Amino acid sequence: MILKEITDYLEQVAPLRFQESYDNAGLIVGDRDMEVSGVMVSLDATEAVIEDAIAQNCNVVVSHHPIVFKGIRKFNPHYYVDKAVIKAIKHDVALYAIHTNLDNVLQDGVNQKIGQRLGLSDIKPLKQHPAGPMETAYELGSGAIGSVSPGMSGSEFISYVKKRMSLKVIKHTKILENEITKVALCGGSGSFLLPQAISAGAQVFITADYKYHEFFDANGEIMIMDIGHYESEYYTIELLHELLSKKFPNFAARCTKVVTNPVFYS
């Protein structure tokens, strides 16, 4: 199998034209015509992940986050981005990222996966994106919203999310007295979607990367739950593995065992 077969499939699931303008999804290192021995799936394409791929005889790393996000003018082997790229090139490992394009499609996308982990029903985009005449097959949008049944108190829901998402800690605003039946969410940094979550009638908004002053924006109308960036998108690894294994059942796709989360809690 050549790499182009894999990238063509991934770009069918989440076309590159759906990525945000600031993003760098797609093939970052490698040749689309190269023969593939195996694929390592990860959230981040760090040097440790690439070493894991090499050890598992995988010469392709498919990650959610692109290791090269901004332009690089010099390669310095002491910086984590440069080290990863140098390692990949030295060992003929291709690096492919499927980032905000996978965030922006609902079907088989990041936010649908989070909603499924939380057991939500009737999952829809939180902020609908207009689809062009050639894009009617895709339900496009930012974040997701769905229903949870039976309804729960705020304290019950916090415990529920911890269990469903395998979390030890959640940072959140004041627990409100209303019953939680509608849940808004966004994997990664989603604070920009708070107005949509409130207007859609969600009692809670689950996302990551909230700053101190941004928590005040809940304004007693909704409970904001910051579960962590890595934690919110961790199951994207499982999602990508499922997609690749289903499409290429006789091909080796592996999930990295490397924990790339740079944030620790003590």
Count up the domains in the chain and report the number. 2
What local confidence, expressed as pLDDT, does residue 241 receive? 98
Spatial contact of 162 and 194, defined as CB atoms under 8 Å apart: no
Percent of residues, the chain, with pLDDT higher than 90: 92
H/E stretch holding 247 reads helix 236-247
- Residue 240 resides in a domain: no
- Residue 263 resides in a domain: no
Average the pLDDT over 46-68 and give the result.
98
Q: Which of 202, 206, 204, 198 is nearest to 175 (CA)?
A: 204
Residue 162 is part of which domain span? 104-232
60: tokens are: 């392709």
- Residue 228 resides in a domain: yes
Please say which residue of 73, 101, 129 terminates a domain. Answer: 101
- pLDDT bin (cut points 50, 70, 90) of residue 61 is very high
- Whether 172 and 141 map to the same domain: the answer is yes
- Residue 85 resides in a domain: yes
**Amino acid present at 111:** N
pLDDT of 260 above 80: yes
Q: What is the CATH number of the domain that holds 53?
A: 3.40.1390.30
- pLDDT bin (cut points 50, 70, 90) of residue 38 is very high
- Whether 87 and 58 map to the same domain: the answer is yes
How many whole angstroms separate alpha carbon 147 and alpha carbon 149? 7
Please say which residue of 83, 101, 119 terminates a domain. Answer: 101
Angle at 106 between CA 194 and CA 33, to 5 degrees: 125
- Whether 127 and 86 map to the same domain: the answer is no
pLDDT of 135 above 80: no
Computed over every residue of the chain, the mean pLDDT equals: 96
- Residue 86 resides in a domain: yes
Please say which residue of 82, 101, 120 terminates a domain. Answer: 101
- Residue 122 resides in a domain: yes
- Whether 17 and 84 map to the same domain: the answer is yes
- Residue 251 resides in a domain: no
- Residue 13 resides in a domain: yes
Spatial contact of 208 and 228, defined as CB atoms under 8 Å apart: yes
- Whether 176 and 114 map to the same domain: the answer is yes
Spatial contact of 16 and 138, defined as CB atoms under 8 Å apart: no
How many whole angstroms separate alpha carbon 207 and alpha carbon 189? 6
Percent of residues, the chain, with pLDDT higher than 70: 100
123: tokens are: 């999952």
How many whole angstroms separate alpha carbon 162 and alpha carbon 118? 10
How many whole angstroms separate alpha carbon 17 and alpha carbon 19? 6
